[in-house]
Amino acid sequence: MQVSPIGLGCWQFSKGKNLVGRFWPALPQETIAQVVKASVDAGITWFDTAEVYGGGESERALAQALKTVGVPPGTVTVASKWWPLARTAGSITGTIDERLRCLHPYPIDLYQIHQPFSLSPVSAQMKAMAKLAEAGKIRYVGVSNFAAKRMREAHRALALHGLHLVSNQMKYSLLDRRIEQDGVLDTARELGISIIAYSPLEQGILTGRFHEPESSPQNLSRMRRMSGNYRPASLARSRPVIEALKEVAKAHQATVAQIALAWLLQAHGDAIVAIPGASSVRQVQSNAGAMQIELTASEIAALSKVGAR
């Protein structure tokens, strides 16, 4: 499965539907189409959405936008995710047709278990995923938010059906380095599983925007503000990382966000790809620009050091 190092996370396409969708402002469909077109134009080849993002609203909005801007099915990669909370593995096969309807005419290239909360064991979930692949309803299987032990279990269970677990989607950024310490990154590299980094800009913190005196998080959604990352104490803790990013950004005539993404893509070889979200053409172009930046080994080391404090 070949994808661009940067993809587009599509949570923000939820249009304010359901509890999860209210994390972001509702975007008009016209804006969503502009964001999708800018992504394709900038060399982004894949889009990550999920059932729980607006109860299928993000999937529908993505498909509609792709059609609007004239992207033929099969020319971009589409990833979606099954929501497991209070469900058994039977729901994976039982709900796939609805996922395909929401994304029609675009196929599901990568289908992922969104969280490790299913009422069924991992083996049953992988068996259900294998059935979907055998039926041609999905192409590849991934997981999300799986700890190292559970990821290894999923990999082993899927292999019994002749398939390879291709990815584990995890929260990862310069400000969240947990997968480096808890065995997830090491296990993924051992097994040949790619890490898909979500929140690679830490919900906008790594743009440096909220560290400027004239900027305020008050215009963010209440749910987003409640995360705590925007409080003065948290911003003070992350300021050394922002200052280090600014120094590297000057050398590359880049933005703070672009350097944060470039570090993520290059610090561990090709083990990690990222899916920053975007709500505007400008944000898309900034994110995609990170693919053109080549950091030096010393820059990567310096950022890694300050980000680990």
Could you state, in chain order, the average pLDDT of each consecutive group of 10 residues for the chain (309 residues)? 96 87 85 98 98 97 98 98 97 98 98 97 98 98 98 98 98 96 97 97 86 61 60 79 96 97 96 96 97 98 87
Name the token pair of 33.
């189409």
Name the token pair of 301.
């080391």
**pLDDT of amino acid 238:** 85
3-state helix vs strand vs coil in the chain, percent to 5: 50, 15, 35
The pLDDT tens digits for 13-66 are 999 887 777 777 889 999 999 999 999 999 999 999 999 999 999 999 999 999
Secondary structure of 165-220 in HEC code, one letter for each residue:
EEEEEEECECCECHHHHCCHHHHHHHHCCEEEEECCCHHHHHHCHHHCCCCCHHHC
**pLDDT of amino acid 219:** 61
**pLDDT of amino acid 8:** 98
The whole model's pTM is what? 0.94
**pLDDT of amino acid 279:** 95
Please check whether residue 10 is in contact with residue 74, taking contact to mean a CB–CB distance below 8 angstroms: no
Locate tokens 């099969």: which residue? 74
Measured CA to CA, the distance from residue 48 to residue 65 in angstroms comes to 14
**pLDDT of amino acid 93:** 98
User: If 0-12 CB within 10 Å is exposed, 13-18 middle and 19+ buried, where does residue 163 land?
Assistant: middle
Please check whether residue 51 is in contact with residue 80, taking contact to mean a CB–CB distance below 8 angstroms: yes
Please check whether residue 243 is in contact with residue 174, taking contact to mean a CB–CB distance below 8 angstroms: no
Neighbouring C-beta atoms of residue 228, cutoff 10 Å? 8
Domains of the chain, CATH where assigned = 8-204+268-291 (3.20.20.100)
The pLDDT tens digits for 148-181 are 999 999 999 999 999 999 999 999 999 999 999 9
Determine if the peptide bond prior to 73 is cis (ω within 30°): no
Sign of CA dihedral 73, 50, 272, 108: negative
Beta bridge partners of 272: 195
**pLDDT of amino acid 194:** 98
**pLDDT of amino acid 235:** 76
**pLDDT of amino acid 309:** 64
Please check whether residue 23 is in contact with residue 221, taking contact to mean a CB–CB distance below 8 angstroms: yes
Annotated catalytic sites, by residue?
53
**pLDDT of amino acid 221:** 56
Give pairs for 90-98: CB < 8 Å, separation 24+: 90/120, 90/128, 92/125, 92/128, 92/129, 92/132, 93/128, 93/131, 93/132, 95/51, 96/132, 96/137, 96/138, 98/56
